[in-house]
Amino acid sequence: MTDLTVLTGLIDRADAELVRTVDALAGAAYAEPSLLPGWTRAHVVAHLTLNAEALAGVLHGAHVGEPQPMYASVEGRDADIAGLADASPSALRERFLASTTLFGEALGAMGEDDWAGRFDRVPDGPTFQHADIPLMRLRELEIHHADLSAGYTPADWSDEFATVLLDAMTRFRTSTPFGIRAIDLDRSWHFGEGEGGPVVSGTAGALGWWLTGRGTGDDLTSDTNELPEMEAW
């Protein structure tokens, strides 16, 4: 786990940058398409808002010894996003701003012993470590900020966040092994079990964007002239 102090600092920076972007959106811009299929910018902001509220609830539950899942159900989560996306831009903006404060307060209240244990995304669903929550929120902030298609792109990601993202993504399973090389950071990572596979090169931001199943990969190169397929998440 990346040091909590480092992650908290990155979250604070990402929050500030995202708040500036959301504040600058004209009312009509909320209804325009984001980079996520079927989602407007309002859907992305609604998701980020509800994600902050849900993770804050999980953190608070861990802190007071009353565990709770992130969401009551997948269907309820999806309906809540759609419902909040239909709110007026001013109402959505205000709730988004309040959610960033709520998450920050819940994160700041956590004691050293509160991080032990796991939580459910939904009841009887996949479980995650409490200790992973700061990284989870940071990824949501930075990746979905770029998904807004409002002037912020993976090229704007800090070297610190890009490194944290690429480090973390090596934990995900891949069907075949491959390597990546971030030319701007002069660092390499290996994905999958076993040796070999293509080596994909590009900037850290472009690599992170591609690894999350986004973009075309046109700004990357491969020593085999082929790019492994990535699933969107």
Domain ranges for the chain: 4-152, 159-222
pTM of the model: 0.95
Q: Which fold has domain 4-152?
A: Four Helix Bundle (Hemerythrin (Met), subunit A) (1.20.120)
Q: How far apart are the first and last CA of the chain?
A: 21
How confident is the prediction along the chain (233 residues), in pLDDT tens digits per residue?
579 999 999 999 999 999 999 999 999 999 999 999 999 999 999 999 999 999 999 999 999 999 999 999 999 999 999 999 999 999 999 999 999 999 999 999 999 999 999 999 999 999 999 999 999 999 999 999 999 999 999 999 999 999 999 999 998 878 889 999 999 999 999 999 888 899 999 999 999 999 999 988 999 999 999 999 898 87
Take residue 102 and report the two structure tokens written for it.
């709520």
3-state secondary structure at position 104: helix
Bridge partner list, 118 = 129
Greatest Cα-to-Cα distance within the chain, rounded to the nearest angstrom: 53
Burial of 141 (0-12, 13-18, 19+ CB in 10 A): buried
Do 62 and 110 touch, CB atoms closer than 8 A? yes
**Right CATH for 159-222 from 3.30.1050.20, 1.10.10.10, 1.10.3720.10, 3.10.129.10:** 3.30.1050.20
Rounded CA-CA distance 152/18 in Å is 9
